[in-house]
A and B are shown apart, each in its own frame.
Chain A
């Protein structure tokens, strides 16, 4: 199958381009004689993992938990709210403009308040991650649910189909391509949200660790933390892509 061969080729090239970036980084630092405190080499960065004090595993788990928690919460409740919008124009007319305004609030500005209200911890950071990626999910899903052929609705209504049936059999599957595009945008935002939360007030997580090692000028550890945060984001994004492939390409919706 030429399809799989092309896919293998694409993945190989993707891996190679990343390796090349690491290589370029390495030679930039080594040949440019850049001080470790400004920019450590990849090797120095990797060595930061050996410092047990930094409790990498625990911090990774905390940050990943915040990102995935806020994200899953946003996807779930966003799709439900969009569904309610598609059922009640009045509800949409009341809530949608409000959501647009609320979404304009910089979440960073909300951070200190959330910490006053809920104190430090994983919960408030999940909340910040949630609040930042909720809106794009609602917006894209609502848009997708609206894209139904009116004649198709008539067909179902002529059979006295319920709106739940319309939602499950026609609207939701039809909206999936939209939902996935919203989920991809939201994946990036969820990572940013969780880290903002950890910067503002936290006693655990990779963002918190970055603040700690900033004080001691442990640049390699900061680099490592950034890389790990990025990796969590890449894993989330990859899961979304995989899910999309599983659901969408098989049914040839894009064909």
Chain B
């Protein structure tokens, strides 16, 4: 079976006037359909850049980027869902109408989309909050709504850029568990960017490690911890081994 995402030798330069800045170099990894891949590294190592390349927001300067396979065709216009560090809900829209934004942009049939948005809000634990405005929800709840928004057009690929980075530690752990549940139930392919090493191992079926200065990919390994995972897996000795492996790569041991 061919990979759903195939990146090989991906490189990205940012040009500011006459200066060039190498943000990403030699990034090579494959993601199977239905995997949850963690992309981990210190800030500035190019994680967001890789996500933007995957989202088709800007092209790579070199290398191969291929998404989709014969078994799982990928439409770049409607098969990407994005979640950012901030929920970025529109303040003037009710939660359900926020969730519906991608459906509106894609011009999907709204009756069905609304039905689906309701189901998704229930899936992310926001049943009953459809008619609320964003300011009536806590940060964690807003981020749940943002996840529902990323799913509403039923995309094949979800890109998450440090989605729980702005949440307090407890809410973050809870959201990690929720995300695993949502992932299991929705069976999406997810690329999850984080600078939390524990979070990367806890969530990922695979972890890709990036380093900055020089920008490069340092590691790419499968996490063979069993699913479904619960928080006590963090005391598992393999969990410790995986996190130590990443710490070592980032020169923190």
Where the two chains meet, the residues of A that have a C-beta atom closer than 8 Å to any C-beta of B are: 149, 151-152, 154-161, 165, 169-170, 173-174, 176, 248, 251-253, 255
Contacts and interface: CB of A to CB of B under 8 A. Distances in A.
B88 A158 contact: no
25 contacts: A149-B86, A149-B88, A151-B84, A151-B88, A155-B88, A155-B101, A155-B102, A156-B105, A158-B55, A158-B57, A158-B80, A158-B82, A159-B77, A159-B80, A160-B77, A165-B104, A169-B90, A170-B90, A174-B90, A176-B92, A251-B91, A252-B92, A253-B91, A253-B92, A255-B133
Nearest to A247: B92
Chain B contact patch, size range: 20 to 34
B102 to A, nearest CB: 6
Nearest to B104: A169
Contacts of B206: none
A225 B93 CA distance: 45
Nearest to B101: A169
A252 B135 CA distance: 8
A251 to B, nearest CB: 4
Contacts of B135: 252, 255
A165 B104 CA distance: 9
B163 to A, nearest CB: 11
B6 interface: no
B241 interface: no
Interface string B120-136: 00000000000001011
Contact of B91 (A151, A156, A157, A252): A252
A131 B86 CA distance: 41
Nearest to A168: B104
Kindly name the residue among A165, A176, A252 whose own CB sees the greatest number of chain B CB atoms within 10 A. A252
Nearest to A251: B92
A173 B97 CA distance: 14
Interface in B134-173: 135-136, 153, 159, 161
Contacts of A165: 104-105
Interface string B64-97: 0000000000001110101010101011110000
B188 interface: no
Nearest to A166: B105
B153 A159 contact: yes
Contacts of A252: 91-92, 133, 135-136
Contacts of A169: 90, 101, 104-105
B226 to A, nearest CB: 33
B14 to A, nearest CB: 15
A131 B131 CA distance: 43
A252 B55 CA distance: 32
B64 to A, nearest CB: 20
B106 interface: yes
Contacts of B101: 155, 169
B135 to A, nearest CB: 5
Nearest to A148: B88
B133 A154 contact: no
Nearest to B80: A158
B44 interface: no
Q: Which 6 pairs from chain A and chain B are nearest by CB?
A: A251-B92, A160-B77, A161-B105, A158-B55, A151-B84, A252-B133
Contacts of B116: none
